[in-house]
Amino acid sequence: MNLTKDEEKMLSGGYGEGYRRAMEILVKMGDYAGAKRMVPVSWADLSAFSGIGGGHGDSPDNDMYKYIQEFDDLCIEENAQFKCPITLADAATPERNEKMTKLGAKLTSAAGASSPHDIFPLPLFGQYVAPGATNINTFCNSMIGARGNNEGPIGVHMAALTGKTPEYGYLLDENRRAKTLFEVKVQPKNYIEWAVLGFYISKTLSTHYWDVPIITGIDPVGVSSDDIISFCASMNNPGSITLFLIEGLSPEGRTKEQALGGEKPKETLVVGEKEMQSIYDTYPPTGNKPDVVTLRYPLTVQRLFDVARMVEGKKVHKDVSFSVDLTLAATIVADRLGLRKILEDAGVFVAEKQGQVMWKGKIIDPWTDARREGLRTMVTDSLKDCNAICQQEIDMVLLPSLEKIVKTALRGKLEV
């Protein structure tokens, strides 16, 4: 790789051992990917790597977690600082917060660990970024036009410290052009239908997810950020789509021709009612009564008002546990306007962290605990939940609207 004098000084240890190790890792990443140079990173997000739970390499029993902890201790001892101008970290444990602030990070909301709901400030168009989680990376690439790769905990951490990352993948112009075309014949009506659309596209491209899709046929009027955030989450699961373009909404896809760079698509696919229904049919209503009903996507301010209106003066069915969690903004509104009390009076469990549910008087994470705790049937708005939890032989049911999910919780039977 062609390094600048400053990068060579880092690599030779001129700024300390922490910077040397970080640059050494980045150079190896760049060499492996065929990168020719480093580029400056404007924004990094470490909020997915809090050290408070499993996944993303942040479990205390994970070697990667231990390495990062030891690395941070070394950097603090050397008085190193994150060189990336905007470095965000998870507001998690006090110990983690103290380390991150000593290294110069700004703390953001823990609820935003995997989505853009609570992550602020967001990057800007054209900036090189190092997002920690897949959802936020897909959102930044596709809807903002910032440029980032899914580099994992180590790559993100080293980019934040050095302010550099190797230029490869979605940082290059040629890899940001659309290669496949999806003609959408049905307009998604809510954030769940957007998730279904994303899941279908992701599943279809799962063996060649790097072929950036351009999605046409969407009426941009009425599309909300909640819709797109839900779409991003499904684009990452079951496939690993990090960049998509929606004609008329994505800054690099104002037109189909712009998105494709004047080329013809490698393949054209149509998404209609049949294709959308195929995803619902994968997680259909069963004959079982629901044990847990959950709104996996955090309630934004809008959805908070919607759910509060639906449950006000009513009670969740005695045989059902209904769980929700709130974005940071929704938490403030809920406490200020008394909406939390409305939810709790109705028997809704308001979780402190995304994904938690109440089951038999105990807070559990169904991704890891569902089968062990005896949970049988779960109703959700999340295809990520469906895809992950069904592997524990749990009946997962995806319903097409917020209204049907809430009615299921109130009536104690599936609303189809």
Helix intervals (H) in 94-221: 94-102, 134-139, 152-162, 191-204
Determine the average pLDDT of the residues in 75-88.
Answer: 96
Instruction: Report, as an integer, the average pLDDT of 347-373.
Output: 90
What pLDDT shows up at residue 22?
A: 98
d(CA 217, CA 248) in angstroms, rounded, equals 10
Quick check: 313 pLDDT over 70?
yes
Q: How many distinct structural domains can be found in the chain?
A: 3
291 and 369 both lie in a single domain: yes
Residue 110 pLDDT > 70: no
Residue ending a domain, choose from 221, 255, 281: 281
CATH no. for residue 222? 3.40.1060
Type of residue found at 248: G
Task: State whether 149 and 12 are in the same domain.
Answer: yes
Of the candidates 159, 176, 175, which has an alpha carbon nearest to the alpha carbon of residue 87? 159
Domain match, 185 and 113 both = no
**Do 9 and 156 lie in a common domain?**
yes
Instruction: For residue 189, give every residue at least 6 positions away whose Cβ sits within 8 Å of its Cβ, in sequence order, or none.
Output: 401
Q: Does the pLDDT of residue 141 top 50, yes or no?
A: yes
Contact 263, 176 (CB under 8 A): no
* Pair (309, 189) in one structural domain: no
The band of 92, judged by pLDDT with boundaries at 50, 70 and 90, is low
Please provide residue 146's backbone torsions phi and psi, each rounded to the nearest 5 degrees.
Answer: -75, 160
Same domain, yes or no, for 185 and 157?
no
Mutual angle of helices 152-162 and 63-77, in 10-degree steps = 10
Sheet harboring 321-326: ordered strands across? 348-351, 321-326, 292-299, 377-380, 395-398
Q: What is the mean pLDDT of the chain?
A: 91
Based on the domain organization, do 168 and 188 belong to the same domain? no
Q: Are 51 and 97 in contact (CB under 8 A)?
A: no
Same structural domain, 194 and 208: yes
Global pTM reads 0.92
Tell me the average pLDDT across 146-166: 95
In a domain, 416, yes or no: no
Residue with the two structure tokens 């895809």: 387
In this structure, what CATH number is given to the domain that contains residue 91? 3.30.499
Segment 381-416, tens digit of pLDDT: 999 899 989 999 999 999 999 999 999 999 999 866
Q: Is the pLDDT of residue 56 over 60?
A: no
- Which CATH number is 329's domain given? 3.30.499.10
From residue 259, alpha-carbon distances to 16, 53, 110, 247 in Å are 44, 39, 34, 8
Domain boundary among 222, 251, 281: 281
Whether residue 389 sits in one domain with residue 304: yes
pLDDT for position 91: 65
Domain end call among 172, 200, 216: 172
Q: What percent of the chain has pLDDT over 70?
A: 94
Average pLDDT over residues 161-187: 97
Predicted pLDDT of residue 65 = 77
pLDDT band at 54 (very low <50, low <70, confident <90, very high): very low
The torsion angles phi and psi of 394, rounded to 5 degrees, stand at -100, 135
Once rounded to an integer, what is the mean pLDDT over residues 42-50?
Answer: 81
Task: Give per-residue pLDDT as tens, 93-106.
Answer: 788 889 999 999 99
* pLDDT bucket at 353, cuts 50 / 70 / 90: confident
Q: Which domain holds residue 355?
A: 284-411
Which residues are CB-contacts of 9 (< 8 A; sequence separation ≥ 6)?
15
Cα 14 from chain centre = 37
Whether residue 244 is found in the same domain as residue 166 = no
Same domain, 293 and 265: no
Render pLDDT for 212-255 as a digit per residue (tens, 0 to 9).
999 999 999 999 999 999 999 999 888 889 999 999 999 999 99
Please compute the mean of the pLDDT values over residues 42-63 and round it to a whole number. Answer: 64
Mark whether 48 and 159 lie in a shared domain.
yes
Decide if 42 is inside a domain. yes
